Amino acid sequence: MSVLDGILEGVREDLAARQERVPLAELRARVADAAPPRDPMPAFRAPGVSIIAEVKRRSPSKGALADIPEPARLAGEYAAGGASAISVLTEGRRFGGSLEDLAAVRAAVDVPILRKDFIVTPYQLWEARAYGADLALLMVVSLDDGLLAELLGLATELGLTALVEVHTGEELERAARVGAELIGVNARDLTTLEVDRSVFAELAPRIPAGAVKVAESGVAGPRDVAEYHAWGADVVLVGEALVRSGDPRTSVRDFLATANANANTNSPA
């Protein structure tokens, strides 16, 4: 069993328990009363690089990362630093997140929010909207073609922007076939947890024209964000480096300033 298989097994067990507690009809009613979702794409398509800053307590690869008693406060610091969106881990067993974290962040910031989880059923997309998400992560590696298309279609119906994540060329082809417009390349292989940042450099030129390119994982500091941007990233998702920084507001500003300054320096006159 791969690392991903083990994670998905726990995700499905926890999902079954939530479905027993909260019927789909209840989620639908909450979504009907919810405010319209925010559209992250204009910011992601704007000149320069954008940052998705992540609320992340721990990970399978690194263990405990940061004590985050108030995710809303951390999200507020990210937004004040210039993050274009906030990613909130909602998986509990391996990442220490929850849907309550998502709701708390939604109440605290006005920027778009990504539900970062292992989404394998339509129920989880209804959850995402019910708890205030504007974006949802769809990982190609954990979905067959039929389910990927179904979930992408439902996300669109709900007003959610789908961040469709890939790690290989074959996964990228599958994402392109279903018409993904926001494509993330994860430098981390979720079956082994190994990180290779060059995966983004390899796949970015193959992302369809018009799609927004997101670089995920492998960021230790501003230079890594700048390098991803130089390789074609419109957006960089950053978690560990920010939660461990001690000053998330300034760190987001530094990441943006370094990447955009390098881009301006290297642009033709």
- Name the catalytic one among 54, 91, 171, 240: 54
Q: Which of 84, 186, 251, 262 is catalytic?
A: 186
- Please give the pLDDT value at position 267: 55
- Catalytic entry in 91, 127, 216, 240: 216
User: Is residue 165 among the annotated active site residues?
Assistant: yes
Let me know if 179 is exposed, middle or buried by CB neighbors in 10 A (0-12, 13-18, 19+): middle
Cα 206 → chain centroid: 20
Name the one residue in this structure whose structure tokens are 């405990």: 64
Angle ∠(239,16,52) on CA atoms, nearest 5:
15
Asked whether 183 and 146 are in contact (CB, 8 A), the reply is no
Q: Would the pLDDT of 193 be above 60?
A: yes
pLDDT per position as a tens digit, 213-227: 999 999 999 999 999
Does 116 qualify as catalytic in the annotation?
yes
Would residue 61 show up in a list of annotated catalytic residues for this protein?
A: no
- Residue 136 pLDDT > 90: yes
> What does the pLDDT average to over 2-10?
91
Establish whether 100 is a catalytic residue. no
Which residue among 50, 59, 84, 217 is the active-site one?
Answer: 217
Q: What percent of the chain is predicted at pLDDT more than 90?
A: 85
Q: Is 98 a catalytic residue?
A: no
> In whole angstroms, what is the distance from residue 141 CA to residue 84 CA?
26
Q: Is 266 a catalytic residue?
A: no
213 classed as catalytic: no
